[in-house]
Structure 1
């Protein structure tokens, strides 16, 4: 009986750890793209501004530039469904000649706020 409980406990701990190992924290994703925390704040502000009015429409775009670092990009509404907006970010970090693409999703909570969701 004790061995069965120990085995079950180990299995639960291992299964619980799997998503942690597979998921990258947002800070790591940002750093791997070559963005600074200040760049992310500019991106986040641009996305917030896109979502501040009525529900955005597919194809809407907003450009952003961080004058302090030189990073820049564009945010495009890729899809709107189920009270969620799927955004496509085209980002060119300072010093890079290559544009990178990231997709995010924000969903409205009960209070009407747009929350970044997985």
Structure 2
């Protein structure tokens, strides 16, 4: 349950739709981004890996590819302020040449976990 809630919050944050996104299912939110649920899991794993392998620094990047679907992307640390990292996601869903840019922010909590925040 915790993983599903976490994924739902990340999806809402990626879309930047706030309260409107709360009424949508996670599968619908991900589909509107042009990603499959499996693509979203690969993107989320790459984001986590970027933040948990040493201290993040501005300009640092991590690429991801879902070999099963062909969707791909790059995550870049855009800014670091206080205890928060601002990420830029460049996403290219399978079947399209168009790259979408989405921004998120994760802040470190008292336990050292990176939490997606508005």
TM-score normalised per structure 1: 0.76
Backbone CA RMSD of aligned residues: 1.9
Relative to structure 1, is the Cα distance of residues 21 and 85 closer, same or farther in structure 2, using a 3 angstrom cutoff?
A: closer
Relative to structure 1, is the Cα distance of residues 56 and 21 closer, same or farther in structure 2, using a 3 angstrom cutoff?
A: closer
Between the aligned partners of 1:64 and 1:96, the Cα distance in structure 2 is 16
Between the aligned partners of 2:86 and 2:30, the Cα distance in structure 1 is 18
Q: How much does 1:82 deviate?
A: 1.7
Structure 1 consecutive aligned stretches of length 4 or more whose deviation exceeds 6 Å: none
Relative to structure 1, is the Cα distance of residues 95 and 114 closer, same or farther in structure 2, using a 3 angstrom cutoff?
A: same
**What CA deviation, in whole Å up to 9, does each residue of 1:47-87 have, x standing for no partner?**
11111133311111110000011100000000001201000
Q: Gaps (5+ residues) in structure 1? A: 1-19
Equivalent residue, structure 2, for 1:6: none
Q: How does 1:56-71 map to 2 (within 5 A)?
A: 56-71=56-71
Q: How does 1:63-102 map to 2 (within 5 A)?
A: 63-102=63-102
More moved, 21-30 vs 85-94? 21-30
Between the aligned partners of 1:95 and 1:69, the Cα distance in structure 2 is 9
TM-score normalised per structure 2: 0.76
